[in-house]
Structure 1
């Protein structure tokens, strides 16, 4: 089976034919249909997560496919099931990560990988694809949607007439923005450096948009909120300085900033302790505090009801052999969420 292998950081992934071993307890062999490409994977390839002790290894943590074989103890899925692959732990066995072989060299992997034709996945990283959800759209349920929408639905749950700012309009930021429309927010402010993303944000319900290359986001936010600041800010850019700005824009006495981004290894954020004393709050998010087995069904129904136009996030397709082009396009901000087509016949 073909797979994209990270052999050396900051180098292109190599497409090789590899083999897998017999399934162990809790493992599931999945034939991939589609994979998404997350900014976190780009950071890993570019060596911005620090020393990589697992080279060579596979990548990818959001995809869809069909169950080909199940290992001992697996009860959550059966052969033939259409499934979503994701990195957030759900119900089921947390199996040992799979190891593959390439000409006698061991290729490491995590509990889930999706840049490969077949993947050995831990049972608890799989959820059955809800009825009516297309296989391509389903990849978004592996990372972008549970993280972005999860922040809004599970961690914030905006109060009526509240104000919220979304910093960074990639897959996670736009997913968060879409989810705010499920609540009666007074102002939804979208911030990015690209006009095309800001235009899409308007389609998704943003009441105000800010190109931070042309305007100071904090000045705009303070003007919109009569110098109070927003009730909530969600930071999705992956840049430490933007986290600081997002935190500074929330109001005193209960304003909450949540950041989903993971800046590159070594970057730090600097906060004024007085802001904390004044009641501003900040916290990180681990996958939107999502429970995949619960939240995927809930979000899928919102999509089927026409409330979440998720297909608009998938704006360009690539083959597995074009994975490096997809990574380059993501890095250059030429694409929202690359879709890797592995076997669209599934």
Structure 2
């Protein structure tokens, strides 16, 4: 066998960096779950695994949009504010007019129209992100931090710093409380799983997914190759805002209320699970599958900490340690693999 043929075969058998990191994340998720099972009584149960997913459907959904933007070299810290705003808008638009007080009065729209207009509100925030990041070249971390505060501020004004939960039509709580075939799994969880599956297909099998990686890896080369970076990044911000808007609407439907503090710190949790899943903070590298298992790692750590009766303050410290270790481990593993 020729030397050239052997080299080609070795190259073909070599695992890609992305697959290597994803495998490490999956292995870490399994190891952490088994380790937590040794420390926490009754932790090693199938229902507990289901709960880790179902209880975190909102953050995982947000993580899809955040992952695509991170891979493209951009941040989106506005998703938590969009969750609050879209939920509040949906409730406000659906509330019947002439209520007992200001928080009980709305526009009286049909539920479907109220939710649609609330989604438009979420897309407006996504459009602002794209305008300032893409058009005016302001760093995305600054822009999206600002629009997160704007979105949450508008939600607080509409709710007077409280919540709207009265004078709603009976069908407003329908979407958020549909159970799947008599199980304890609600429709939002199913929609999250579908979203993850569709995102994986987009990431792996479409030109849109490939463009996201190329722009993140080398935006200058991508632009010189004829790729329209600005338009693609605009689509990514609108995509992330649409996901956050739908999450906010579904949460508002589930609890039949619009709460200005809903989604608080979800933007950071979405960023954390993406980084735990191996997404490079500098762009050009990562996967939705890795993000999903990163969410399981974070959920396992948080759940185990609760089972060990650790205070919420310690849970924040554990999150910070997990992110730091994830970034260091990714850099070390890739350096060792490609040595």
TM-score with structure 1 length normalisation? 0.25
Structure 1 or 2: more helix by fraction: 2
Structure 1 or 2: more strand by fraction: 1
TM-score with structure 2 length normalisation? 0.26
